[in-house]
Amino acid sequence: MESPEVVSCVGSREARGADPVSRSGGAGHPTVVGVRNLRKEYVTGRGRLVLFDNLSFSVAEGEMLAIVGQSGAGKSTLLHILGALDTPSAGDVCFTSISLSKLNVKEAASFRNQWVGYVWQFHYLLPEFTALENVAMPLLARGEKKAEALRSAEQWLTEVELGDRVGHRAGELSGGEQQRVSLARALVTRPRVLLADEPTGDLDGQTAERVFNLIERLHATHGLTSIIVTHNTGLAGRCDRILRLEKGRMEEVPPLKA
């Protein structure tokens, strides 16, 4: 297999200036995530499938970015690469000066645990474990003492307005509640960046609205940088910026006017 091309993580200002798709007028907003000439291809029995090539964009600190695009465009694949859960065929992703292409397996695991909170469309909670245990899991995985991990988990469940559901098994919760638990689980490690893949995709309109309101509030109160994949144009329009992934290219969508 071809090894990923290494692109150095240059200083945030220079990097932003060179981007075809970057936050404009961002003085005072350093780049947190820099995507550089990213390519992803799959070699299948029927040939080479190039999902995207030469993809470059930056996300500024504190920004709430929506990524939209048709089904199959490669949004989840891109988010997996940003979260160091998958590797690109070429190019690199930089979190400030950390170049993901230079991380070994152990460093990538540590990067994920420290930098990124991930929310999936389907929550992947452990149904037989309580909400509290599910949220505490990432802290226990990084070696925190059980009592402290459970205390932090309870605080986060209260933040997502589930203080009265801590003892429920995940399988006993509603879809919206499960997604709020997964939000607490994503943020319990206090990451700088929230990556959310269709966090409201499986919810009805009203529940989706409530979960999105919560994401907005947590984004603001915890100084997060958030990248949210969504099919919901109404919710995308509430983000600072919308990028559309289409036919392997990333384009900025003009702001939606109310």
Ligand X SMILES: Nc1ncnc2c1ncn2[C@@H]1O[C@H](COP(=O)(O)OP(=O)(O)OP(=O)(O)O)[C@@H](O)[C@H]1O
Which does residue 122 touch among Mg ion, ligand X, none (CB within 5 to 8 A, set by kind)? Answer: none
Q: How many whole angstroms separate alpha carbon 179 and alpha carbon 173?
A: 9
Task: Answer yes or no whether residue 49 interacts with ligand X by CB under 6 A.
Answer: yes
Size of the site for Mg ion (CB under 5 A): 1
Which does residue 136 touch among ligand X, Mg ion, none (CB within 5 to 8 A, set by kind)? Answer: none
Closest CB to Mg ion among residues 144, 202: 202
Which does residue 71 touch among ligand X, Mg ion, none (CB within 5 to 8 A, set by kind)? Answer: ligand X
Identify residue 101 by its one-letter amino acid code: S
3-state secondary structure at position 168: coil
Q: How many whole angstroms separate alpha carbon 120 and alpha carbon 99?
A: 24
Binding mask 162-201 for ligand X (x = CB under 6 A): ----------------------------------------
Closest CB to ligand X among residues 62, 69: 69
Ranges within 217-256 binding ligand X (CB under 6 A): none
Closest CB to ligand X among residues 50, 141: 50
| CB of 170 vs ligand X, minimal distance in Å | 23
Identify residue 95 by its one-letter amino acid code: F
Identify residue 141 by its one-letter amino acid code: A
Ranges within 62-101 binding ligand X (CB under 6 A): 69, 71-77
Q: How many whole angstroms separate alpha carbon 62 and alpha carbon 228?
A: 13
Closest CB to ligand X among residues 47, 143: 47
Find the angle CA(211)-CA(93)-CA(113) to the nearest 5 degrees: 55
Q: How many whole angstroms separate alpha carbon 205 and alpha carbon 83?
A: 28
- Residue whose pair of structure tokens reads 């509290």 in the numeric block: 132
- Interacting stretch for Mg ion, rule CB under 5 A, among 40-48, 70-78, 128-136, 207-215? 70-78
Cβ–Cβ < 8 Å for 43, 207: no
DSSP H helical segments within the chain, as ranges? 12-17, 75-82, 105-115, 131-141, 146-159, 175-187, 205-221, 233-236
Looking at residue 18, what DSSP letter applies? T
Which does residue 104 touch among ligand X, Mg ion, none (CB within 5 to 8 A, set by kind)? Answer: none
Residue in 76, 89, 101, 225 binding Mg ion, rule: CB under 5 A: 76
The binding site for Mg ion (CB under 5 A) comprises 76
The binding site for ligand X (CB under 6 A) comprises 42, 44, 49, 51, 69, 71-77
